[in-house]
Chain A
C-alpha cells in the first residue's frame, strides 16, 4: 500500500531564506508526483507536476526534484516571502490508481517578515 510522508510537519523561516520541503513515498510505481499549496479556508492550488520519467520541474522560484527509485521528492522555494506562508502537500498518482492521488499530510510553512 502506498504511503506518503512529509517531513517536517511545520516549518518557520525568516523572509529571504530558502525553503526545503521533503516528501517520501513507499512505492515507486507512480505516474507522477504533484506539489500543491493550500491556504487556510481555501482549496488546493497545483504548483508543480513531475512525471515519473522526469527528474525535476521548475516554475519561477519553485523547483521540485524527483528521485523515483529512492521514493523521494523535494520542493525548493528560493528567497521565501511572507506570501509563501501556507501548507504544502505532495501527492503521488500510483500507476494502478485510475486517477486517484495519494496525499501526504502536508508541511505547514510560516515565513516571518
Chain B
C-alpha cells in the first residue's frame, strides 16, 4: 500500500553506463517530481510533470531524461553516467501543482557511480 514507490532502492554502476529509475504513485495525484539530494543533503528539484506534461525542467544536463507514460508514473533515465551523478534521487507527487498541496515522497534511490 506504498503511496510513492521507486525502484531500485540502491543502484551501483560504472561511469559511462545508462540506467533508469522508476517511480509510481497510487495516490491519484496529478503532479510528479524528481528531486536530487547531494552529499550535503540539499534537495533540489530536477523535473516536474503535471498530467504527463513537463512543466519544470531545471538546469539539468540533457543526459537526464524523464518520461511519464501516464500520470501515475514518472521514470528517470540517465545516459553516460558520471561520478558527479552519485546522489540520492527522490520521486514525489502532489495533488496539484501551484497551490497548497503537500508533497509525498518516495524512499529514494541511492545511485553510486564508480
Contacts and interface: CB of A to CB of B under 8 A. Distances in A.
Given A46-B104, A105-B41, A99 B4 contact: no
A103 B41 CA distance: 10
B73 to A, nearest CB: 17
A13 B103 CA distance: 29
A44 B4 CA distance: 11
Contact of B41 (A31, A36, A43, A87): A87
B43 to A, nearest CB: 4
A99 B92 CA distance: 12
B44 interface: yes
Q: Which of B31, B43, B98, B108 has the most CB of A within 10 A?
A: B43
A82 B40 CA distance: 24
A58 to B, nearest CB: 15
Contact of B102 (A49, A87, A89, A105): A49
Interface of A: 31-32, 34, 36, 41-46, 49, 51, 87, 89, 91, 98-101, 103, 105-106
Interface of B: 4, 31, 33, 40-45, 48, 50, 55-56, 58, 90, 92, 94, 97-100, 102-108
| Closest 7 pairs (CB-CB, A-B) | A99-B97, A43-B105, A103-B43, A44-B105, A100-B45, A46-B102, A43-B107
